[in-house]
Structures are given as C-alpha cells and as structure tokens.
C-alpha cells in the first residue's frame, strides 16, 4: 500500500514530478531565448533605423485608432461574405452529388465551377470581377466595389468550401444512407436528415480554417477600392513615410486570427481523439 | 404466398453472386438463410429490400412484382423492414429520434402524435428508459433492439434480419434473439440470415442452405440439421456444429 496514500499512486506522483521538471526547463529555455533577442537585436548596427520605420511608438499612437476603425470594414465584409459562402458552397457540393440524369447539367456546372475558381488566384478573381463588372458602367449602387469585391471572395471561397463539404459527405459511410433508404425515406430526405448533419459536423474544423483564410483575404479588396485596414495602412505609410502602420495592421489581424486558429486546431484534435 | 422469390440472378462484375434463387415465404413464417461467409445471404436480403438491383428474376410481394426495374422503390421499402449486422443507427440522433424519423417524414406525423406508439414499442422491448440516449450511450444489444424498433415503427409487413447478432458480445445475443421470438409469436413474416444454428433449428419454420449463390438444400429445420442430404450441407454443418 506504500505510495497509495490520499488516492495518489506512485505512478501519478512520478508523472507529476516529471511534468513540473519539464515545465521548469521549458520556461527557463524560453526566457533565455527572449533575453538574447532583447539584448542582442538592439545592438545590431541597423536597429535604430529599423525601429524608427517599423516600430515607431509615435506612429503607433497616431495611426492605431484609424486602423482599428478600418479593420471594422474588414470584419463587416467578412461577416456578410461568410454566410453567403456557406450557402453557396453547400449548394455546389450538393449539385455535384445529384444522381438524377435530368439534373446532370447542374452536376456538370458544379464540377466546372469548382475547377475554375480553385484554379485561379484569388487576387485575379478580385481584379477581374472588381474592375470588370463596374466597368460595364452600371448605375449606383451597382458600381460599388464592395458588392463586386465581396462577390469575388464569395465565388472563390464557395469553391473551396464546397470541396470540403463534399469530402464530408463522402466520409459518411454508405451504410448510413442505405439504412435511411431502407426505412422508406426519399434520397433527398436521407441526405438532409442523415448524411448532411453528420458530414457538416465532421468538417467544422476544416471550415474554420477557411474562415480564418477568408478573414485575411478580405485585405485583397484593398486593390479595388474599399479603404479597409490594409489600404488605410498604405495611406498612412505614404503620408508618414513609415512602415509602422503595416506592423500595426498585422498585429490587429493576429489578435483575431491566432485565437481562431487555436480554436480550430483544438476542434480538430478533439475530433481526432473522438475517432480513435 | 406473402413473398415469392423467383429465379433471382445477380452478379457483381464478373462474379455471379446469386444464381437462380427461388423461395416461397408464407405469411407469418420465419425463414432462415444459412451458409458460409460470402455465399450470398446478405445479397438476397438487400435485393428484397431493393437496396441492390437484380439482374434477372422476380420478387412477388402479395402478387406484385417489386423487382420490376422501373418501379419506384420507396413505397416498397416502407413495407419491408431490414435490420443490419452493424445496427446502422444514426449517431447524431437519440434513440427516439432514430425511430421517429421515417414515420415523421414518410407519413407526415408529428412527434407528439407518434410518441404514444413509439414509447409503447420501446417499452415492449425493454428500452423504456433509453429513448433519449444517443446510440453511443447504449450497449450493442440495446442498439440492435433500437434498430429493430426503428424498422418496426413503419409497421412493415415483412422483416429482414441480416446477422443481427454477429457484432454482439455473446452475453448480449440472447436479448436480441428473444425479440425475434416475440415477433414470431405475434405473426410477423421474417427472413433471417444467421449463424445462430441453435436458434434457427428451434424457432425457424424453414431453413435454406446457401452455397456460392445457390440454395442447394431447403426444408424444415429438423430435416436440414438432422438429416442433410447434400454433401456440402453435411460438410458445412459438421464444421459449424462441432465448433459450438
Ligand atoms: N458491393 C459489392 N461489390 C462486389 N462484390 C460484392 C458486393 N457485395 C457483396 N459482394 C460479393 O458477393 C458475395 C456474396 O456476399 P454476401 O455479403 O451476400 O455474403 P454473405 O453470405 O452475407 O456472407 P457473410 O456471412 O460474410 O455476411 C461475396 O463473394 C461478396 O464478396
Ligand atoms: Mg452477410
């Protein structure tokens, strides 16, 4: 019974000691590296200049509020694109899955669509649609770069999101669909009530990664007009002849994307654990 | 005849899986299909349920040929229940939701309208306190009983069972076989693919021995088990009966 007092086994005792030790080692080595950076980097010959143009406290103070404000536009574009992407992506995924020969054109459309929009760089789609369609001389508000820029993002991302949905649908074993059909459900009901709910649950982590990528790619709309954070930083850069605004913009992105990435990774890890 | 299989033929690619299968099943009868792995038992059941298309032959249900190629399978499947070896419950739904899905969608009934009938079914098969459990919160035996209840909730005229005890721990087999005995007593028409020879011998009305897609011997269980005439049947039975 030795070592089993108070419900703690010898093994647990040992692992606890081990954990404490590795925590200590990790903390001290991290501290050492940080210290080296803080002490050594400022000694580099060009540090003064780099600090002046990239990490300028004065510029940070002056530009931060406006950059944050511009970032709200990124968030807004993101917020209205994301649901459209989800709906269109799901529709395309389902179109690629139809079995009815009458609807074959729909299936063909799904295939061609995903091929095209996954094959062209996002920037190009943004340029072509963002400049091309307003170039038709449409009346206000239909010449707005917000509309067409958003459309470009929606079209491109829907192609990727559709592929992820489709992989989810295919990962649900055929026996689930057969069980639903054997009860007398229609093919559409089997998809809607049995296959899709399981498929969507499985691809949530992967779709979260798409959302994070989308949040960053909203900055591409800066090329066609909207003064979102990246463009605002560019304006400040020219105005102040200083790169600090870009660093501030990057930091603002990180504040949003890092927690989101961690969450997605956490969800994926949880799912992998559940599956084994 | 409630159900008549007439010269069923089916191949997967080049391999002939069902070769001239004919079988009559009377109302209220329990027919057991026995035979080695790969002999075609599951395929017969899946063809009756129209989950697999036949190459040739006819399946008469109350005088209607349900294997006619142009027929809409959906209303037929509603009349024939099937239970699978691997349960195939829907993991994202509770036991009660699993059971109610088809009646709700197919018959357009509401949950509330279904509840008395469905709880009575759960109660009858000893699952009264398991209605709100998810499949992964149930034992294998309970899951399989829920799968049976799910098929019964559509009030089928015939039930097909495909080795429904093969995936169960030995101590859980009994509770599921008991359900089959109950159904038989109540007059359900049933076809079982099974490896439970004792059960087949004591409960079935008719046994078919399958070998490489052919029914090579069929008849009353006492005849098949005690006095098989075909060498292959004798061989198979001596192998499986020695093992138990
Ligand atoms: N979808 C399929 N594609 C190709 N071949 C198949 C398919 N399903 C079954 N088969 C083949 O058909 C034959 C009969 O299979 P079936 O599942 O009906 O046998 P079984 O008697 O149920 O066997 P078991 O006792 O192992 O369940 C086997 O040779 C199998 O490999
Ligand atoms: Mg089988």
pLDDT, tens digit, 9 for 90 and up, residues A195-238: 999 999 999 889 988 998 998 898 888 888 777 888 888 889 98
Whole-angstrom distance, CA of residue A86 vs CA of residue A94: 12
Nearest CA in chain B to A174: B88
Q: B204 with B32: CB under 8 angstroms?
A: yes
Is pLDDT above 70 for A5? Answer: no
Nearest-ligand number for the alpha carbon of B39: 1
Q: How many CA atoms lie within 13 A of A252 on its CB side?
A: 28
CB B101 within 8 A of CB B90: yes
Higher-pLDDT residue of B57 and A44 is B57
A91 within a domain of the structure (yes/no) = yes
Q: How many domains does chain A have?
A: 2
pLDDT, mean of residues A134-161: 86
Residues A183 and A126 both lie in one domain: yes
Determine what percent of chain A is predicted with pLDDT higher than 70: 97
Q: What is the pLDDT of residue A21?
A: 93
Question: Is the C-beta atom of B194 inside 6 A of ligand 1?
Answer: no
Nearest to B105 among A176, A182, A185 (CB): A185
Closest CA to B105 of A69, A193, A209, A5: A193
pLDDT of A136 strictly over 70? yes
Whether the CB of A171 is below 8 Å from some CB of chain B: the reply is no
Q: Is B230 helix (H, G, I), strand (E, B) or coil?
A: coil
**pLDDT one-digit tens code per residue, A78-120:** 999 999 999 999 999 999 878 778 888 888 998 999 999 999 9
Nearest CA to ligand 1 atom 3: B12
Cβ contact (<8 Å) for B150 and A183?
A: yes
Helix (H) or strand (E) holding A111: helix A104-119
**pLDDT band, residue A190 (cuts 50/70/90):** very high
Assess if residue A86 is contained within a domain.
yes
Q: Which atom of ligand 1 is nearest to the CA of B213?
A: 14
Q: Which residues pair with B3 in a beta bridge?
A: B25, B61
Residue nearest to atom 28 of ligand 1 (CA): B38
User: Cβ of A26: how many Cβ atoms within 10 Å?
Assistant: 10
Enumerate the residues of chain B whose CB falls inside 8 A of the CB of residue A197: 92
Nearest chain B alpha carbon to A274: B136
Determine the Cα–Cα distance for residues A222 and A239; give it in Å rounded to an integer. 17
Sheet holding B158-162, edge to edge: B80-83, B158-162, B189-193, B30-35, B206-211, B214-219
- Closest atom of ligand 1 to B52 CA is 1
Q: What is the band of A4 on the pLDDT scale with cuts at 50, 70, 90? A: low
Mean pLDDT by 10 residues, chain B (244 residues): 94 94 96 95 96 94 92 94 96 96 95 95 93 94 95 96 92 91 95 94 95 94 93 92 66
Give dist(CA B176, CA B125) in Å, integer.
Answer: 9
Asked if pLDDT for residue A273 goes beyond 80, the answer is no
In a domain, A79, yes or no: yes
A176 → closest Cβ in B49, B90, B105:
B90
Q: Is A99 helix (H, G, I), strand (E, B) or coil?
A: coil
The mean pLDDT of A252-256, rounded to a whole number, is 88
Integer Cα distance of A232 and A236 in angstroms: 6
Q: Determine the atom of ligand 1 nearest the C-alpha atom of B195.
A: 25
Output the CA torsion A195→A196→A198→A200 (10° steps). 150
Statement: residue A142 has pLDDT above 50:
yes
The minimum CA-CA distance between A213 and chain B, rounded to whole Å, is 29
Residue B177: C-alpha distances to residues A111, B161, B224 (Å): 48, 11, 21
Which of ligand 1's atoms lies nearest the C-alpha of B41?
21
Res A1 pLDDT > 50: no
Cα–Cα distance measured from residue A219 to residue A78, given in angstroms and rounded to the nearest whole number: 10
pTM of the model: 0.84
* pLDDT at A276 (0 to 100): 53
Looking at residue B173, its pLDDT comes to: 92
Count CA atoms within 13 Å of residue B138 on its CB side: 28
B interface residues, A as partner, C-beta within 8 Å: 49, 51, 73-75, 77-78, 81-82, 84, 86, 88-92, 101-102, 105-106, 150-151, 154
Q: Kindly tell me the sign of the dihedral angle through the C-alpha atoms of A177, A183, A188, A190.
A: negative
ipTM above 0.95, yes or no: no
The Cα B217–Cα B236 span in angstroms is 12
- Assigned domain for A190 exists: yes
Pair (A18, A114) in one structural domain: no
Does one domain contain both A199 and A106?
A: yes
DSSP string, B26-90: -TT-EEEEEESTTSSHHHHHHHHTTSS--SEEEEEETTEETT-TTS-HHHHHTTEEEE-TT----
Chain A residue numbers touching B81 (CB-CB < 8 A): 182-183
Domain hosting A188: range is: 56-275
**Structural domain contains residue A50:** no
Do A110 and A241 lie in a common domain? yes
Spatial CA neighbour of A176 closest among A195, A192, A189: A195
A-B C-beta contacts closer than 8 Å: 57
The pLDDT value given to residue A264: 81
Rounded mean pLDDT of chain A? 88
Whether residue A27 is found in the same domain as residue A61: no
Domain shared by A36 and A60, yes or no: no
Mutational test site, ligand 1, from B8, B34, B36, B39, max ligand atoms within 8 Å of CB = B39
Rounded to whole angstroms, the Cα distance separating A178 from B86 reads: 12
pLDDT tens-digit readout, A51-64: 888 888 888 889 99
pLDDT over threshold 80, residue A2: no
| DSSP state, residue A116 | H
DSSP string, A11-47: HHHHHHHHHHHHHHHHHHHHHHHHHHHHHHGGGSTTH
- Give the mean model confidence (pLDDT) for residues A241-264: 88
Supply the residue whose CA is at minimum distance from atom 1 of ligand 1. B12
Whether residue A125 sits in one domain with residue A19: no
Output the pLDDT for position A151.
Answer: 92
Do A28 and A73 sit in the same domain of this protein? no
**Residue A49 falls inside a structural domain:** no
Tokens 């209607």 locate to B64
Q: Between the CA of residue A132 and those of A30, A113, A137, B8, what are the distances in Å?
A: 51, 19, 10, 62
Task: List the residue whose alpha carbon is closest to atom 6 of ligand 1.
Answer: B12
Alpha helices in B55-196 (DSSP H): 73-77, 95-107, 111-124, 140-152, 170-185
Q: What CA dihedral angle connects B144, A189, B73 and A93, to 10 degrees?
A: -110
Q: Are A62 and A99 part of one and the same domain? A: yes
With cut-offs at 50, 70 and 90, classify the pLDDT of residue A275. low
Asked whether residue A169 is domain-assigned, the answer is: yes
The pLDDT of residue A97 = 79
Let me know whether A142 and A222 are in one domain: yes
All structural domains of chain B, each given as residue ranges with its CATH number in brackets, are: 3-242 (3.40.50.300)
- Are residues A106 and A191 part of one domain? yes
Could you tell me if residue A261 is inside a domain?
Answer: yes
CATH number assigned to the domain comprising residue A158: 1.10.3720.10
Whether residues A37 and A123 fall in one domain: no
The response to whether residue B42 sits with its C-beta less than 6 Å from ligand 1 reads yes
From ligand 1's centre to the CA of A228, what distance in Å?
60
């Amino acid at each position: 019974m030795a070592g089993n007092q108070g419900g703690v086994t010898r093994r647990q005792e040992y692992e606890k000691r081990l954990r404490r030790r590795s925590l200590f080692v990790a903390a001290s080595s991290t501290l050492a590296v940080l210290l080296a950076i803080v002490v050594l980097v400022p000694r580099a010959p060009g540090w003064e200049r780099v600090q002046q143009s990239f990490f300028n406290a004065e510029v940070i103070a002056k530009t931060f509020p406006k950059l944050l404000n511009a970032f709200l536009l990124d968030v807004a574009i993101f917020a209205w694109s994301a649901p459209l992407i989800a709906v269109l992506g799901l529709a395309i995924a389902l179109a690629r899955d139809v079995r009815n020969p009458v609807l074959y054109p729909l299936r063909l459309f799904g295939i061609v669509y995903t091929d095209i929009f996954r094959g062209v760089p996002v920037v190009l789609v943004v340029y072509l649609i963002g400049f091309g369609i307003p170039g038709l001389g449409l009346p206000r508000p239909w010449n707005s770069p917000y509309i067409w820029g958003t459309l470009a993002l929606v079209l491109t991302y829907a192609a990727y999101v559709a592929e992820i949905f489709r992989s989810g649908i295919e990962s649900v074993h055929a026996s689930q669909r057969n069980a639903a059909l054997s009860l007398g459900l229609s093919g559409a009901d089997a998809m809607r009530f049995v296959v899709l709910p399981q498929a969507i649950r499985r691809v949530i982590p992967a779709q979260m990664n798409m959302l994070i990528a989308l949040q960053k790619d909203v900055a591409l709309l800066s090329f066609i007009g909207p003064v979102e954070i990246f463009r605002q930083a560019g304006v400040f850069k020219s105005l102040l002849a200083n790169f600090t605004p870009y660093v501030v913009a990057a930091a603002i992105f990180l504040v949003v994307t890092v927690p989101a990435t961690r969450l997605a990774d956490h969800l994926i890890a949880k799912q992998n654990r559940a599956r084994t | 005849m409630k159900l008549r299989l007439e010269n069923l033929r089916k191949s997967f690619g080049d391999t002939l899986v069902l070769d001239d299968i004919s079988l009559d099943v009377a109302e209220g009868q329990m027919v057991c299909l026995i035979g080695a792995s790969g002999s075609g038992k599951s395929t017969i059941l899946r063809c009756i349920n129209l989950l697999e298309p036949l190459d040739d032959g006819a399946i008469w249900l109350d005088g209607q040929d349900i294997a006619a190629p142009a027929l809409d399978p959906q209303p037929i499947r509603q009349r024939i229940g099937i239970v699978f070896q691997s349960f195939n419950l829907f993991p994202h739904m509770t036991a009660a939701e699993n059971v109610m899905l088809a009646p709700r969608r197919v018959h357009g009934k509401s949950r509330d309208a279904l509840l008395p009938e469905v709880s009575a079914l759960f109660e009858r098969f000893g699952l009264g306190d398991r209605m709100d459990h998810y499949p992964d919160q149930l034992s294998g035996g309970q899951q399989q009983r829920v799968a049976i209840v799910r098929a019964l909730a559509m009030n089928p005229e015939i039930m097909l069972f495909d080795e429904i005890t093969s995936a169960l721990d030995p101590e859980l087999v009994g509770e599921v076989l008991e359900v089959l005995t109950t159904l038989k007593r109540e007059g359900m028409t049933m076809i079982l693919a099974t490896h439970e020879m004792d059960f087949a011998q004591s409960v079935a009305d008719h046994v078919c021995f399958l070998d490489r897609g052919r029914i090579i011997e069929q008849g009353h269980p006492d005849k098949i088990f005690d006095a098989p005439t075909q060498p292959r049947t004798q061989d198979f039975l001596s192998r499986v009966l020695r093992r138990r």
